[in-house]
Amino acid sequence: MSRGGGRGPSLKDKLDGNELDLSLCDLNEVPVRELAALPKATILDLSCNNLISLPSDFCSLMHLVKLDLSKNRLQQLPLDFGRLVNLQHLDLLNNRLVTLPVSFAQLKNLKWLDLKDNPLDPVLAKVAGDCLDEKQCKQAAVKVLQHMKAIQAEQDRQRQRKLQAEREMEKKREAEQRAKEAQEREVRKREKAEEKERRRREYDAQKAAKQEMEKKTKKEHVQTRKPASSSRPPQPARHKRSWSRSVLRVLLFVLLCVICTLAACKLTELQHQPLCVSVNTLYEDVLAALQNHKTLQNMLHQNSQQ
């Protein structure tokens, strides 16, 4: 393995039992592929190098139990650093770390932690405390894990609240969409009803106009036929006048017969006959009765004048 991150066959030569010491090698990057080929190396020392960051596949080295990254220039750890679930001892002394990834809370086996000489966030620095002896470093591991678990739980709650808010927002949008669709259906229904009503009115108007036209045409037709038909009504009048004339003629004939009979009974020798005596008596009785009634007398007077 050469300086500056070079790789070489000498990496196995540095393995001593389960310990692999890569400190003071002037490394700019971690040889993850070669380290993955050495699963026996559960203790890895990468201190006193020039590491600025760790590659994302570094977290695949899940066989690591003890890791020393002190005295580098690390500004952050990989987001999935918590995949190193077997890690028990972690030394991050003298780096440039400000925060730790939330996945750090998953390091459930971590029992020793040193975060001294890092520009940590004030809250995290207060939680971690000092690591001047074994007891303090163990307490730092416990407290930092608890702190990171609390952050993870809070983030989970925020994520749940966000998901819930998104679900509610989605439900609201769906409800609004359904309301909009219902409103559109109602508008279409109303427009359809209005269209039906308009067509019904048009139909009624056309029907009325047609009836009016038929009535007008019929009236014109009747008026056209009126001269021919107007000659017919006088026929009953003529029949009536003919009947009246017939009755009048009969009455006149009867009256003439009565007058002739009276004249014969009054002026001839037949006046002494029994029939004429009866006729003369009846005439005198009728004449007397008529003279007793003023109205009839007036009528007789008017008739006599006429």
Tell me the pLDDT tens digit for each residue of 92-135.
999 999 999 999 999 999 999 999 999 999 999 999 999 999 99
How many residues in total does the chain contain?
Answer: 306
Task: Please give the residue range of the domain that contains residue 290.
Answer: 272-305
Tell me whether residue 175 is in a domain.
no
Choose the final residue of a domain: 155, 171, 190: 155
Q: Are residues 146 and 276 in the same domain?
A: no
Digitized pLDDT (tens) for each residue of the chain, 306 residues in all: 544 444 444 688 889 899 999 999 999 999 999 999 999 999 999 999 999 999 989 999 999 999 999 999 999 999 999 999 999 999 999 999 999 999 999 999 999 999 999 999 999 999 999 999 999 999 999 999 999 999 999 989 998 999 999 999 899 999 999 999 998 999 998 898 989 889 988 898 988 888 888 888 888 888 776 554 445 555 555 666 677 777 777 888 877 777 777 777 767 766 677 777 777 787 777 777 666 665 656 665 666 665
Domain boundary among 155, 190, 222: 155
First CA to last CA across the chain, in angstroms? 169
Query: Which secondary structure element, helix H or strand E, spans residue 44, and what is its range?
Result: strand 43-45
pLDDT at residue 115, as a whole number = 96
User: 168 lies in a domain?
Assistant: no
What CATH number does the domain containing 79 carry? Answer: 3.80.10.10
User: Do 16 and 148 belong together in one domain?
Assistant: yes
One-letter amino acid at 286 equals V
Mind listing the pLDDT tens digit for each residue in 199-221?
Answer: 988 898 988 888 888 888 888 88
Asked whether residue 164 is domain-assigned, the answer is: no
Single residue among 155, 178, 206 that ends a domain in this structure: 155
How far is residue 205 from each of residues 192, 212, 213, 249, 296, measured CA to CA in Å? 20, 10, 12, 63, 68
Q: How many CB atoms sit inside 10 A of residue 79's CB?
A: 13
**Domain-located, residue 71:** yes
Q: Do the Cβ atoms of 10 and 19 come closer than 8 Å?
A: no
The residue among 166, 172, 46, 59 whose CA lies nearest residue 107 is 59
C-alpha–C-alpha distance, residues 96 and 93, integer Å: 9
Three-state DSSP state, 91: strand
- Residue tagged 């999935």 (tokens): 80
**Position 70, amino acid:** S
- Number of domains into which the chain is organized: 2
Residue 83 in any domain: the answer is yes
For residue 251, being part of any structural domain is answered with: no
